[in-house]
Structure 1
Amino acid sequence: MHTADDFKQLAKQTSNGQLRTRYLALYHFKNGETRTQIATYLGVARGSVNTWVSNYLAHGLEGLQSKPSPGRPCQLSVSQREQIAHFIKENAVKKEGGRLIAQDVRQYISDTFQIDYQLRNVYRIMDALGFSWITSRSKHPKQSQQTQDTFKKFPLETILHTPGHLPLDRVDVWFQDEARFGQQNQTSRIWAAKGSRPRVVKQQQFDYGYVFGAVCPSNGNTQALISPLVNKEVMKQHLKLISEATEPGRHAVVVMDGAGWHTIDTASPFTNVSLLKLPPYSPELNPMEQVWQWLRQRCLSNRVFRGYEEIVEQVSRAWNTFIADVERVKNLCWREWIKLVN
């Protein structure tokens, strides 16, 4: 049996207010207080104290636990809920545009099962079915999933784009891309008082610069340069940096999109660099997109730049902040399908 001190300690340890009151009732009971006195001390009904004491004497500590309320039974059967889940999956993204909202689900339930729910109950049903209101990712209308899946058979593609005398364990995979940063900068969310909508400055001028960035996820190496324009000559300069960063006896396969300055001849001056193009309309396969997003959200949003020189300074500082943590670079940019050897 438990002592008064046991119940005092249990009351201190629990974060459940109702259970704490029951433990304190048993604490006073063990100290010889009458049930009327206990009810007065705790500000509860004497009948409640009687119930708690009786339950403890009959079932021990388990008798003091709250029993789960069965609640009101759901009007929808299991098969009906499965049908609703199928409807949501099939209609979440509409081919003609727009999106499925809770009111659509409410109307579907009403039309199909003749059951009328309030919207708050529709939200509960959708939550119970495993759905939540989340941000979607964009894709180009011409994107081909089959082409992307074929591209991810990466070791075969890599073999076809590297010198025949090099084994795959001596090949470094790089991801490369460009992004524009400048005075037409984006605004982002900030912490502010609830109910307010603070204003942040957004410039109307048009100075900007381009960042040529590249990351090797396997070792965390990075290379970048900033230019006021994009063309094949700047691309060659960037590939030169990648070539110089590649250790002797190794080869760099640089994965990039199909931009007009990403031509095969830009890599011809470098014997240790080959280019591999991403499938059309597939920017999500390039983790550099996440790098640009990281830079904008963490370092460069809601900013004002006096001109090109300050853009270069701030973007350089943001890039150096990102690459300062090698593990962050690896974790953000690694893709399992670029693994060349087991």
Structure 2
Amino acid sequence: MRAARDAWLVFEDEAGFTLTPPTTRTWARRGHTPVVHVRGRSRRRLSVAALLCYKPGHPTRLIHRPRADPRRDGRKSFAWTDYRDLLQAAHQQLGGNMVLVWDNLNTHLAAGMRRYITDRDWLTAYQLPSYAPDLNPVEGIWSVLRRTTLANRAFADPHELITAVRRGLRQLQYRSNVLDGCLSGTGLPWPHYNDTTH
């Protein structure tokens, strides 16, 4: 395999966030039920693509890119060129080969994306099995974000949502124990390079 030798193992996933907050358990005085007030029912959405990057002997890295949709229906997500740019930026930051593991999203399988991967000797890509989000540690990042930074919080406008998501992801970038725990939670083995074959 071209990029598998001494490479970063990189998992990718995308998630969408809206102005309507995720709810989670909280506490309150008996008889005083907490209420989260939401302004309107906006469908504006923020999409975020994230990479969790693992390599023995190196701290785990979280690289992310938000994409706010200016349209009112808020339904446009990442194009294959957005993923290309994210992977190129990650390669520059990591400074090494990458083995990419992601799902079967049609954008990941686009002809342009396949050509881009084929033409890069530092990049090898694998698809996860269908309907197997439990094998992707990036799902753990979204779960942590929704249970902490975004939980029980109503956002007045898209800018406030973007700011909160970026802040939450930046905080997670410095919590290597949480990033490592996301991989452990999948049950997948920690990457190692004992194999000497090419």
- Tell me, yes or no, whether TM beats 0.5: yes
Tell me which residue corresponds to 1:330: 180
Tell me which residue corresponds to 2:13: 177
Q: What amino acid maps onto 2:18 in structure 1?
A: G
- Say yes or no: does 1:252 pair with 2:98: yes
- Say yes or no: does 1:297 pair with 2:144: no
Q: What amino acid maps onto 1:252 in structure 2?
A: M
CA contact (8 A) 1:258 1:277 kept: yes
Taking a change above 3 Å as real, the CA distance of residues 279 and 206 of structure 1, as seen in their structure-2 partners, is same
Taking a change above 3 Å as real, the CA distance of residues 307 and 267 of structure 1, as seen in their structure-2 partners, is farther
Q: 2:83 aligns with which of 235, 247, 258?
A: 235
Q: What amino acid maps onto 1:289 in structure 2?
A: E
- Say yes or no: does 1:339 pair with 2:191: yes
**Separation in structure 2 between the aligned mates of residue 299 and residue 311 of structure 1, nearest angstrom:** 10
- Say yes or no: does 1:221 pair with 2:44: no
Give the total of aligned pairs: 176
**Separation in structure 1 between the aligned mates of residue 190 and residue 164 of structure 2, nearest angstrom:** 32
Tell me which residue corresponds to 2:37: 201
Deviation of residue 338 (structure 1)?
4.8
Task: Give runs of aligned pairs for residues 34-113 of structure 1, distance below 5 A.
Answer: none
Identity rate, percent: 22
Structure number with greater Rg is: 1
Give the 3-state SS of the residue equivalent to 2:26 in structure 1: coil
Alpha-carbon RMSD: 2.1
List gaps (5 residues or longer) in structure 2.
69-76
- Say yes or no: does 1:312 pair with 2:162: yes
**Separation in structure 2 between the aligned mates of residue 243 and residue 251 of structure 1, nearest angstrom:** 7
More helix by share: 1
**Separation in structure 1 between the aligned mates of residue 4 and residue 121 of structure 2, nearest angstrom:** 16
Deviation track 1:254-289 (CA, whole Å, cap 9, x = no partner) reads 111111111233434543122110001111100111
Taking a change above 3 Å as real, the CA distance of residues 209 and 167 of structure 1, as seen in their structure-2 partners, is closer
> Please, what TM-score do these two structures have when normalized by structure 2?
0.79
Give the 3-state SS of the residue equivalent to 1:302 in structure 2: coil
Give the 3-state SS of the residue equivalent to 1:210 in structure 2: strand
List gaps (5 residues or longer) in structure 1.
1-161
Tell me which residue corresponds to 1:8: none
Tell me which residue corresponds to 2:74: none
Tell me which residue corresponds to 2:72: none
More strand by share: 2
**Separation in structure 2 between the aligned mates of residue 293 and residue 216 of structure 1, nearest angstrom:** 18
- Say yes or no: does 1:276 pair with 2:116: no
Instruction: After superposing the two structures, state which structure 1 stretch, 199-208 or 275-284, moved more.
Output: 199-208
Deviation track 1:155-188 (CA, whole Å, cap 9, x = no partner) reads xxxxxxx31xx673x1211111000012133111
Deviation of residue 216 (structure 1)?
1.3
Tell me which residue corresponds to 1:138: none
Deviation of residue 336 (structure 1)?
4.0
Q: 1:262 aligns with which of 108, 115, 120?
A: 108
CA contact (8 A) 1:212 1:225 kept: yes
**Separation in structure 2 between the aligned mates of residue 280 and residue 306 of structure 1, nearest angstrom:** 36
Taking a change above 3 Å as real, the CA distance of residues 189 and 266 of structure 1, as seen in their structure-2 partners, is farther
Deviation of residue 331 (structure 1)?
2.7
